[in-house]
Homo-oligomer: A and B are copies of this chain.
C-alpha cells in the first residue's frame, strides 16, 4: 500500500495553477453539495498574490444562492488506479462575488474561467486561498510530470 505525503504550499500552488477543472463543496440548508467547475487562478493585479480560485456561475445556481460570504471548499485531484498513486489539493476560504469593476476588467483581460456547459454565467465567485493543503499518494514521482492538461503560462 503506497505511503501518503503532505504536499508543500509551492507544490499545491503549481498544481492549482496548472488545472482547469475542479469541484466546489458548499453547505446548503439541506446539507453539503459538490459542484464540478471550470476554474482559473487569480493572483491579483501584479500576479504576486494574494491568490484565489475564480469560478463562473449564475445567480440562480446553488453557488449563486448560497455561496456569497460562505465558507467553501475547492478541490482538484488526479488518481491513477493502475499505478496506485495520485494527488489532491484542497483550498478552503470564504467565497465572495466579484463585483468590483476594475477587478472584473482585469480578470477579463487576463483570463476568464470559461465554462464548457452552455448558458450565460455572469456571476464570478472568488475563493481565497486562506487554507491550502495537498496530499500525494506514493513516492518517487512528481505529479507535475503527469498532468493530463497543463494550462499555458
CA distance A49 to B81 in the complex (A): 26
Q: Number of A residues contacting the other chain (C-beta, 8 Å)?
A: 42
> Which residues of the other chain, B, contact A20 by a CB distance below 8 angstroms?
81
> Which residues of the other chain, B, contact A115 by a CB distance below 8 angstroms?
1
In the complex, which of the residues B21, B31, B116 contacts A27, with contact meaning CB atoms closer than 8 Å?
Answer: B31
In the complex, which of the residues B21, B70, B73, B118 contacts A33, with contact meaning CB atoms closer than 8 Å?
Answer: B73
Given A117-B137, A118-B3, decide whether A32 and B71 contact each other with a Cβ distance below 8 A. Answer: yes
> Which residues of the other chain, B, contact A79 by a CB distance below 8 angstroms?
21, 36
> Which residues of the other chain, B, contact A23 by a CB distance below 8 angstroms?
23, 34, 75, 77
Q: Could you say how many copies of this chain the assembly holds? A: 2
| Contacting pair A116 B90 (CB below 8 A) | no
| Contacting pair B27 A73 (CB below 8 A) | no
> Which residues of the other chain, B, contact A4 by a CB distance below 8 angstroms?
117-119
Q: Is A88 an interface residue (CB 8 A)?
A: yes
The chain A residues found within 8 Å of chain B, CB to CB, are 1-4, 20-21, 23, 25-27, 30-34, 36, 70-75, 77, 79, 81-82, 84-86, 88, 90, 92, 115-119, 135, 137-138, 148-149
Sample of 7 further A-B pairs with CB below 8 A, known A21-B79, A23-B77, A32-B72: A2-B118, A4-B117, A21-B81, A23-B23, A31-B73, A32-B73, A34-B73
